[in-house]
Chain A
Amino acid sequence: MNSGYDLSSSTYSPDGRIFQVEYANKAVENSGTAIGLRVKDGVVLALEKLVHSKLLVPGTNRRIQTVDRHIGIATAGLLADGRHLASRAFDESLNYRETYRSEPPLSAIAERLGLYVQAYTLYSSVRPFGISAILGAVDKDGPALYVVEPSGIYYGYNGAAVGKGRQLAKTELEKLKLSELTTREAVFEAARIMHLVHDDSKDKEFELELSWIGAETNGLHLPVPKDLFEEADKKGRDALDADMED
């Protein structure tokens, strides 16, 4: 069908596309949703981790990872690729510190990761990353949010969504006045959106992952504490039930 133009990312199709990169995007589209909110005084990352087996220990295989004290990463797509990219981001962050002896701004890390991911679209010997990564941080310029895609392209966002439920999530994010929300309020919105976009009838069960960076965490990227998590999780679930009754 694609006449062999999709076998390597080092070959263009006649109309100038690189099919391997597009297939990588498919891997992202089929995975659980991840969202990021850049608000007034912080950043919130949320992720829908689809649980493929009841035998898995809850809370293990976290998909939101920490890159530096102030930087978090949520990935949608192939979990192993997400792990590798987070590890690379960590190395880059230490390398930045080694060179400049200061906390890396998220823009620098996003740029380096963009270059790195792009390199995997150039050669026949490798496959592109099957992930989109949402990076969140509070750095010297305040809250920051970036998405790195399989092509290596990266943009800064106020609100970002990747994975299966991204369309609905984006619609919900657009309704919010992100620049006026506090980080704590954003935790509740994030939990609500994750419950909203999860398709109970089609999808497997999911585990919600929530992390935040803001004044309340002292600028550190940390998982949302248990009590707040449970409150936000419950409210998100209740909002969904109320919605259904309407």
Chain B
Amino acid sequence: MDHFPGTHWGKPRNDNIDAYGTYPLHAHQPRTDAFADGVQRTQQPVVTGASVLALKYKDGIMMAADNLASYGSLARFKDIQRASGDMADFQQLKHILDTLLIEQFVQDDGHKFGPTEIYEYLSRLMYGRRSKMDPLWNSLLVGGFKDGKSFLGYVDLLGTTYSAPTLRNWVWRYIAQPLLRKSVEGREDTLTEEEAVKILEGCMKVLFYRDARSLNKYQIAAVTEKGIWISDSRSVETEWAFAEGIRGYGAQTQ
């Protein structure tokens, strides 16, 4: 028995180290894991989640994501994150971030994390995990609005970070990014909400036509001074009749 507060008193018991609470902490030998050599870290993602597009406009930032895989969104205060990649890693990420936000909530000292603080935290987290050769297999877009300024940032499983007026992830970069850049670059401060929605809808339409992995169902979210707004699932009108006239591909008989 440990009669002295300060070793394990005041800390929740950790079953991984001392399942029966029998020894004072200083008397512990860390247990070596007999299976340590067999432990594998994520080498490739198991489930891939949604793909995401984001852009800056006059009042803040706007994102679009398809509903192909079930994925979570994080909405706390005035910022949101969308992610794609391994769903389990994403849930772990969500849990870590949630813990951080609870820590801040109970502090009750009037400080609140803005999008830039959340982004910095996530970047450090992602880089820290890649440096342990145990990456969280996701790419994240963090968008938010605070003190009259909009923010849009990207971070991936390597800890690579960057900001830009328009962002997207995975295969969408080849298709959607040129479209987005063409309509947004240099107009971030004048684009209206209607125009922004139109641009994203246009991108979603092209993506659905050209990217076999995306689904004709998606959501749009906006972050402005007023807070977060997330649309219901919507779809784009598509026209496939022209396919009849195409010759030279596939299994036509004539």
Contact = CB atoms under 8 A, between A and B. Distances in A.
Interface of A: 62, 65-69, 84, 88, 90-95, 97-98, 101, 119, 123-126, 220, 223
A27 B95 CA distance: 40
Q: Which of B3, B12, B95, B106 has the most CB of A within 10 A?
A: B106
Contact of B105 (A69, A124, A126): A69
B36 to A, nearest CB: 22
Contacts of A84: 10
B12 A66 contact: no
B99 A94 contact: yes
A102 B217 CA distance: 30
Given A84-B10, A88-B10, A123 B3 contact: yes
B5 A94 contact: no
B31 interface: no
Q: Which of B3, B11, B12, B95 has the most CB of A within 10 A?
A: B12
B5 A68 contact: no
Interface in B1-43: 3-5, 9-12
Given A66-B106, A68-B106, A124-B3, 12 more contacts: A66-B105, A67-B106, A69-B102, A69-B105, A90-B106, A91-B11, A93-B102, A94-B103, A97-B95, A97-B99, A98-B99, A126-B5
Nearest to A99: B15
Contacts of A101: 95
A168 B113 CA distance: 43
B117 interface: no
Interface of B: 3-5, 9-12, 95, 98-99, 102-103, 105-106, 108
Nearest to A66: B106
B104 to A, nearest CB: 11
Nearest to B105: A69
A-B pairs with lowest CB-CB distance, top 9: A95-B12, A66-B106, A125-B3, A123-B3, A91-B12, A66-B108, A90-B106, A69-B105, A92-B12
Contacts of B102: 68-69, 93-94, 97
A66 B102 CA distance: 10
B4 A125 contact: yes
